[in-house]
Structure 1
Amino acid sequence: MRKYILIALLPLLILLGLTVKPVLTYTLGEEIILKTQPIDPYDLFRGRHMVVSYDISRVDISKMPRDFTHVNNGKESADREKEDPYIRGNENYQGKKLYTILKKEGSYYTVDRIVSDKPKGLYLPCRYQYVEKSADGEYYVRLDYNLDKYFIPENSSSELENAARDGKVVAKVKVYNGYPLLIDLRKS
């Protein structure tokens, strides 16, 4: 009889275990505000939700770990002139888990630097995606924080959606031991 009760409770215990990190983050996490970039706030299949992009998702390459900026893995200098060194030199970083150390600038949090090893203090885990070169020749790294979806209550007004199209939305995120939880989006 006990065996059957234990088997019946196992799925419930697994589901409860999945809620531990989000609940701890919501109750004990440090609240940070992040700037967002213009986004498309509606999806025909998912309903009223937003796919959010953050200013901290596009970071100057100088904030990357030191070994990242040693480009092309030691290729000869003649080979370096033939190809774009950052874009073609760091395929080994593709999808690599990194940690963004945050600093407060005014009301918002920005990227102080990015490290490979888990740091202490306020940080967000992220994954390296790719390097992009701007029109003025500057290099930026694109990072993914897995904080990109926010579902909007069906009865809410479209003010937030309109502000999102204009890039005038900020995200309230709570962070606890490096675990981020998107709490709210609001007009800035």
Structure 2
Amino acid sequence: MTQKKIFYLTIVFWLLIFSGFIAYKEYTLMTGTEVILKTEPVDPRDLFRGDYVTLNYEISALDLEEIQAADPYFEYNDRIYLTLELEDGYGVPKKVYRTPPDDELYIKGTVKEVIYDWETDEDGITTEGPYSKELRVEYGIESYFVPEGRGIEIENQQWTGRKGVDVKVVVDKYGNAVIKSLLIDGQEVEI
């Protein structure tokens, strides 16, 4: 094979990869269910990538004493499936699964931190454990890039006493989520 053919095949290969990634995200946006998630912006700037908002969702911290789990034993990097109930358009956590649930709206995530607890009897003696008490989860939608200068403005919205920043995401039937837009005080931000 000549150098020229190898060069062209390499270009075609990378174009197919990029096209596949874009098509996958577009498919999710076209076929998924729209859900609004409550957030807490954290850091508006990256020196190498420009302005962006790091998003920390309410569903990123799951207290397993409040949210039912099919199995309470989780470890770092475990895949989870969080079913969501829609309340006024907002996704509210319902139950945590290890495998995709049937016929329910769910979002797929990865456990990034586990806070453990142990079962003790009335004498304070550990009888079994540890079991997972709280999970920190990432869903792949934690960063959102914005035009230069808008990151700090969006971050400041959280602290002004208003409703704050929410994110409209689209979740497909496989639990994959894609950010569609940011909402400030319930209004879509034009970016």
| TM-score, normalisation: structure 2 | 0.71
- Alignment map for 1:12-23 (pairs within 5 Å): 12-23=15-26
Equivalent in the alignment of 2:87: 105
Q: Alignment partner for residue 185 of structure 1, among 178, 182, 185?
A: 182
AA aligned to 1:182 is I
Aligned residues: 160
- Alignment map for 1:24-103 (pairs within 5 Å): 24-62=27-65, 63=67, 65-68=69-72, 93-103=75-85
1:21-59 deviations in Å (ceiling 9; x for gaps):
101012222111000124232334432111100001111
AA aligned to 1:172 is K
AA aligned to 1:184 is S
Q: Which has the higher contact order (CA 8 A, sep 6+)?
A: 1
Determine whether 1:130 maps to 2:113.
yes
What SS does structure 2 have at the residue aligned with 1:19? helix
- Residues 117 and 43 of structure 1, relative CA distance in 2, 3 Å threshold: same
Structure 1 unpaired stretches of 5+ = 70-89, 134-138
Equivalent in the alignment of 1:170: 166
CA-based RMSD: 2.8
- Residues 42 and 28 of structure 1, relative CA distance in 2, 3 Å threshold: same
| TM-score, normalisation: structure 1 | 0.72
Q: Alignment partner for residue 137 of structure 2, among 140, 143, 148?
A: 143
Q: Percent identity?
A: 31
1:169 CA drift (Å): 0.5
Distance in 1 between residues matched to 2:113 and 2:140, nearest whole Å: 15
Structure 2 unpaired stretches of 5+ = 117-132, 186-191
Distance in 1 between residues matched to 2:184 and 2:36, nearest whole Å: 12
